């Protein structure tokens, strides 16, 4: 005696399996990309680096305030100055002064605590921030923004949105990069 349901059942099971695989594949393709937080900085190697790491954690999400140097509000160079002050290092107040201090560091040798400099968020008289590299060649070398390198391409800085983490390899930062300086002493983490 032959079972007539055999071929039909087999076809139904195969069709259901194919539909399930198809729908699973489609659903997988429509997922929203997940945003992963930047990796934590490598462990600090010196007491200064440890103190700087703590200061960075305290200043994260601090609001932006032109001329500010405290946790109630900071601008970019005020943030850098205040964070390094907590680590026991006295840095000058302005971006340009900070750029002309410290040991120059090539971009491919950046490590935790290095200060990175850009020509982004420059201030035009009463016109707000602009990207100097998009203007005349006389302004390309203008240094007007900085932040503290965390590692793995990430740096922390005070932007108009407050103290945040950005990636130095993003196009806007790569195009605006001017240089870097090292202020921390000791071995690289």
Which two three-digit tokens encode residue 122? Answer: 């420059």
Catalytic site residue from 122, 144, 145, 154: 145
SS3 of residue 179 by DSSP: strand
Is residue 76 flagged as an active site residue?
yes
83: exposed, middle or buried (Cβ count in 10 Å: 0-12, 13-18, 19+): buried
∠ at Cα 83 (68, 79), nearest 5°? 30
Catalytic site residue from 76, 122, 144, 154: 76
Torsion of CA 53, 55, 61, 63, to 10 degrees: -150
Catalytic site residue from 122, 144, 154, 157: 157
**CA distances, 13 to each of 22, 27, 41, 110, 157 (Å):** 14, 21, 52, 58, 58
Catalytic residues: 76, 145, 157
């Amino acid at each position: 005696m032959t079972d007539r349901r055999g071929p039909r059942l087999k076809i139904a099971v195969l069709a259901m399996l194919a539909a399930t695989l198809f729908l699973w594949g489609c659903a997988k393709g429509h997922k929203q990309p997940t945003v992963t937080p930047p990796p934590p900085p490598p462990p600090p190697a010196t007491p200064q680096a440890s103190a700087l790491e703590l200061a960075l954690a305290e200043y994260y999400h601090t609001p932006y305030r032109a001329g500010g140097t405290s946790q109630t509000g900071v601008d970019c160079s005020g943030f850098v100055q205040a964070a390094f002050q907590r680590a026991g290092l006295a840095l000058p107040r302005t971006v340009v002064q900070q750029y002309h201090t410290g040991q120059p560091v090539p971009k491919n040798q950046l490590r935790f605590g290095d200060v990175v400099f850009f020509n982004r968020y420059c201030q035009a008289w009463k016109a707000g921030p602009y990207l100097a590299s998009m203007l005349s060649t006389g302004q390309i070398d203008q240094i007007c923004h900085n932040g503290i390198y965390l590692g793995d391409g990430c740096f922390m800085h005070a932007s108009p949105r407050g103290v945040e983490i950005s990636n130095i390899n993003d196009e806007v930062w790569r195009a605006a990069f001017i240089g870097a300086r090292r202020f921390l002493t000791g071995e690289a983490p």
